[in-house]
Structure 1
Amino acid sequence: MTHASPPDLSVLHAVRVKGMADDAAVALRTGLDLDTTTELLEDFEAYGWVTRAEFGGTSGWTLTERGRAEDARKLGEELDRAGARTAVEQAHKEFEVLNGRLVKACTDWQLRPAEGNRLASNDHSDPQWDGRVLGELTAIGGELTALIGGLTGVLTRFDGYHERFETGLARARAGEGQWVTGVGVASCHSVWMELHEDLLSTLGLQRG
């Protein structure tokens, strides 16, 4: 039976996964209304779990060390309460296999080796090259859908990753190339990185 995270964990963990996010972004990710989200974030600020930050012209909430510890504690309790550890561990193993393919595809989207320069930037003038990359991302997306299906069978908060990935991929196919690896948008790479952080933090693992 699937388990739904309580609002306080949903909001706190959304900040963790996104790294930095404002009230609206957290509300959108969690599906909670903006007033509830803002109230929880302000409570967390009073507890010393989140703080406001600015970077590159954007601002939002980010976790403090106390907040990361609290998020880890809540995640561990939820994982055991839902009996979801085995399913999440299996999903993480499957993700790691896909991760190598995703990294290569994103690299191929950004770079297209040329004679004398194996690190030449991809100027996207070769439709065959880009089509091959988009084809690989499509295949990865299909496997991601199955992976997320297994995860949401035990923890509902993993729902939506495959849909956001597919949305980014669809926009890339429509000619908006920044939706493959771009920052500041829910690109395929950005969604993938959020899922990676979600899996690692849920299992209490360190990146790398």
Structure 2
Amino acid sequence: MANPSTPELLVLHAVRLRGMTDETEAAARFGLDPETVAELLLDLQAYGRVTRSSFAGTSGWSLTDAGRAEGERLLAEELAASGLGPYVRERYETFLAYNGRCLTACTDWQLRPDGTGRLAVNTHGDAAWDARVLDELTVLGGVIDTLSDELGTRLSRFAGYGDRFTSALARVRRGEFSWVDRPRADSCHTVWMELHEDLLATLGIRRGEEPVP
């Protein structure tokens, strides 16, 4: 039986993982009731843990420093209570072993050698190049699917990463090439980076302080 997270933790965590999000996105991230999420966000705003702002034509909720600290406190409590710290760290180390490969694959989808020793924008005219990248992303999809299943059966908020990555990759194979690295959407890159942030937050690890895989 997977350990469920409290609604307050899930809302704070959804805002952290999405960076900036509205009520609908925050509710959808963990399958919460939208009205409950809207009320929780207002409560969190009153406590100074989230703030609502607009930027570059978009608006939404984001964490304050106090909200980030509170979220990390709740995550640490949840992990300690579950006794799953070593288990999550093992999966995090597996993730790190593949992280560089995902970043390289996404870069290779954007850029490729132009024949003169320099890199140029990948216009997707080289079928063999793109096929190699897609094969690599397929391998990575299997990795994230396994990690998501293993973690999600113990901490339910980790479920779904594999399905989201696979769905994005299926769109790419149908010709929607931006779904490898499309920002502000569940692209392969976005889902991979979100799992990375989820693991860091859960384990209380700061970016820049990660072990070398």
Which TM class, normalised by the smaller chain length? over 0.9
Shift of 1:207: 1.2
Unaligned stretches of 5+ in structure 1?
A: none
Deviation (angstroms), 1:145: 1.1
Distance in 2 between the 1:152 and 1:30 partners?
12
Question: CA RMSD of the aligned region, Å?
Answer: 1.0
Residue 9 of structure 2 aligns with an amino acid whose one-letter code is L
Residue of structure 2 in register with 1:67 after alignment: 67
Q: Distance in 2 between matches of 1:51 and 1:38?
A: 13
Quote the offset at 1:56 in angstroms: 2.4
The corresponding residue for 1:193 is 193
115-124 or 3-12, which moves further after superposition?
115-124
1:45 and 2:45 correspond: yes
Q: Secondary structure at the match of 1:112?
A: strand
The residue type paired with residue 83 of structure 1 is: G
Cα 1:23–1:146 shift into 2, 3 Å: same
CA distance in 1, matches of 2:87, 2:118: 40
Q: Does 1:137 align with 2:137?
A: yes
Local SS of the residue matching 1:91:
helix
**Contact 2:72/2:204 (CA < 8 Å) preserved in 1?**
yes
Q: Please give the alpha-carbon distance, in whole angstroms, between the structure 1 residues aligned to 2:24 and 2:129.
A: 37
Which residue identity is paired with 2:58? T
Q: CA deviation at 1:59?
A: 1.1
Q: In structure 2, what is the Cα distance between the partners aligned to 1:76 and 1:185?
A: 28
| Runs ≥4 residues deviating over 4 A | none
C-alpha offsets along residues 142-181 of structure 1, whole Å, 9 cap, x if unaligned? 1211111211122110001111101110001100001001
Contact 1:2-1:82 at 8 Å conserved across structures:
no
Corresponding residue pairs, total: 208
Q: Secondary structure at the match of 2:112?
A: coil
- Provide the residue aligned with 2:211 in structure 1: none
TM-score by length of 1: 0.97
* 1:182 alignment partner in structure 2: 182
Letter in 2 for 1:121: V
Q: Distance in 1 between matches of 2:124 and 2:90?
A: 37
Give the corresponding residue for 2:160: 160
Q: Give 2:174's aligned amino acid.
A: A
Runs of 5+ unmatched residues, structure 2 = 209-213
Counterpart Cα distance in 2 of 1:14 and 1:165: 17
Q: What one-letter code is carried by the residue in structure 2 that aligns with 1:31?
A: G
Structure 2 distance, partners of 1:117, 1:181, is: 24
Instruction: Write the distance in 1 (CA, Å) between the matches of 2:58 and 2:84.
Output: 36
Q: Is the 8 A contact 1:87 1:154 kept in 2?
A: no
Amino acid at match of 2:149: G
Find the counterpart in structure 1 of residue 206 from structure 2. 206
Residue identity matched to 1:173: R
How far does residue 116 in structure 1 lie from its aligned partner after superposition?
Answer: 2.3
Q: Which amino acid aligns with 1:179?
A: W
1:101 counterpart residue number: 101
* SS, match of residue 183 in structure 1: coil
**1:169 corresponds to 2:203:** no
Q: TM-score, normalised by structure 2?
A: 0.95
Residue aligning to 1:12:
12
User: Is 51-60 or 10-19 further displaced after alignment?
Assistant: 51-60
Contact residue 87 and residue 150 of structure 1 kept, 8 A? no
